[in-house]
A and B are shown apart, each in its own frame.
Chain A
Amino acid sequence: MWPAVIVASLSCYVIKVVGISLPRRLLDNARVMHVAELLPVALLAALIATQTFTTKHALHLDARVAGVVAAVGAIRLKAPFLVVVVVACTVTALMRL
């Protein structure tokens, strides 16, 4: 586990240092900016999908789905971050009782 912790930490730090030290020219490139804007959207959506609907290598629907649906409701009601997470956990736990 340590190698992954160190590699992830180092690479994220290096990205930050490179960004703050580079000339601004890259920011004027519309395509680069467009990819940069869409990258977190695609990654977060894929993380949500896989962590909600799959276990190991198969689609697997369980109580998590109810928890995440409840989280969508909480977000729609503009609930603060921690409330969204607690609602998701609580609903998932209750479904497992």
Chain B
Amino acid sequence: MAAPEQTELLEADPHWPTTRTSVLRDAIGIGIATGAYGLSFGGISSTSGLSVLQTCVLSLALFSGASQFALVGVIGAGGNPMTGAATAALLGVRNGFYGMRLAGLLRLRPRWRPIAAQLVIDESTAMAIVRESRPAARLAFWATGISVFVFWNAATLIGGLAAHALRDPRTLGLDAAAPAAFLALLSPRLRRREPRAVALLAAGVALVSVPFVPTGVPVLLAAAVAVVAGVRPTPEVPPDPAGRPDQVPA
């Protein structure tokens, strides 16, 4: 992705009215698409043993799709909820890197940071880092973040209430929803050979360790594969300096 260098970022947008309209339109579109994802999160979470209130608190306070799915996945499988929380935090590490990149791009006043931080997710980052001017990057970040936040939380509530009425979620095949959702998140990251090898190895480590460690821990062991592969002295392919966020909701 050819994200503009920060030094080249324009301070004023030459086509502001047009830019503003297209940024806002994209933000609402991404919000609606993410809402569909939130619907499935609400459903899966409230059939995994969490209350509708807990489900909604996750979407409001954690607000990062992959982490939320990971947490309720471990709980749904009967694992220790704290193991699920650890997995969720590890998946959330990428938001920290997005934040580092966005800080230079948006140049936020310190008092806005606590609010902006909550909106640092795949979608808002992807929309902000491709802009040519600072005003456009700022608008893209805030509009996408707020739009996704609103749709994601509304959809979580609806999905949670609807699924809570079900007696056995397995009848509807809902236990296949989470792995399918993870697959959709993973597939755009597998274009190169190295991440593909890491994915296969991580899946293998997890499956082999399942009989021997508590539920949820195999996923944490698999994270070690990423660390070992990442710190090798000579990586085959240089890492993407943009810390590329994907266009799919996560």
Contact indicator B210/A20 (Cβ below 8 Å): no
Does B42 count as interface, using CB distance less than 8 angstroms? no
| A21 CA / B115 CA spacing, docked (Å) | 12
Does B177 count as interface, using CB distance less than 8 angstroms? yes
Contact indicator A43/B87 (Cβ below 8 Å): yes
Does B2 count as interface, using CB distance less than 8 angstroms? no
**How far, in Å, is B105 (CB) from chain A's closest CB?**
10
Does B140 count as interface, using CB distance less than 8 angstroms? no
Q: Give the chain B neighbours of A36 by CB distance below 8 A.
A: 93-94, 97, 230, 243
Q: Which of B81, B179, B204 has the largest number of chain A CB atoms within 10 A?
A: B179
Query: B93 contacts which of A1, A39, A88 (Cβ < 8 Å)?
Result: A39
Q: Give the chain A neighbours of B89 by CB distance below 8 A.
A: 8, 11-12, 15
Contact indicator A57/B239 (Cβ below 8 Å): no
Supposing A12-B62, A17-B113, A44-B185 touch, asked if A93 and B173 sit within 8 A by C-beta, the answer is yes
Does B227 count as interface, using CB distance less than 8 angstroms? yes
| A45 CA / B145 CA spacing, docked (Å) | 27
- Chain A proximity mask over B91-112: 1 for CB below 8 Å, otherwise 0: 1111111111111100010000
Chain A, 4-26, CB within 8 A of any chain B CB: 4-5, 7-13, 15-22, 24, 26
Q: Give the chain A neighbours of B126 by CB distance below 8 A.
A: none
Contact indicator B171/A88 (Cβ below 8 Å): no
| A85 CA / B54 CA spacing, docked (Å) | 22
Q: Give the chain B neighbours of A24 by CB distance below 8 A.
A: 100-101, 103-104
| A36 CA / B185 CA spacing, docked (Å) | 16
Determine the residue in chain B with the shortest Cβ distance to A33.
B239
Q: Give the chain B neighbours of A8 by CB distance below 8 A.
A: 58, 62, 67, 71, 84-85, 88-89
Contact indicator A31/B181 (Cβ below 8 Å): no
Query: A41 contacts which of B62, B88, B195 (Cβ < 8 Å)?
Result: B195
- Chain A proximity mask over B198-227: 1 for CB below 8 Å, otherwise 0: 111111111100110001001101110111
| A5 CA / B84 CA spacing, docked (Å) | 9
Contact indicator A87/B180 (Cβ below 8 Å): yes
The A-B contact count (CB < 8 A) is: 326
Q: Give the chain A neighbours of B219 by CB distance below 8 A.
A: 43, 46-47, 50
Contact indicator B62/A9 (Cβ below 8 Å): yes
Contact indicator A13/B118 (Cβ below 8 Å): yes
Does B8 count as interface, using CB distance less than 8 angstroms? no
Q: Give the chain A neighbours of B37 by CB distance below 8 A.
A: 81-82
| A11 CA / B82 CA spacing, docked (Å) | 12
Chain A, 23-39, CB within 8 A of any chain B CB: 24, 26-27, 30-31, 33-39
Does B183 count as interface, using CB distance less than 8 angstroms? yes
**Measuring CB to CB, which residues of chain A are less than 8 angstroms from any residue of chain B?**
1-5, 7-13, 15-22, 24, 26-27, 30-31, 33-59, 63-64, 67-68, 71-72, 75, 80-82, 84-85, 87-96
Query: Could you list 21 examples of A-B contacts with CB < 8 Å?
Result: A12-B62, A12-B88, A15-B89, A16-B95, A17-B99, A20-B102, A20-B113, A22-B99, A27-B97, A30-B239, A31-B231, A33-B241, A37-B244, A41-B189, A45-B198, A46-B221, A50-B219, A54-B210, A68-B183, A82-B37, A84-B183
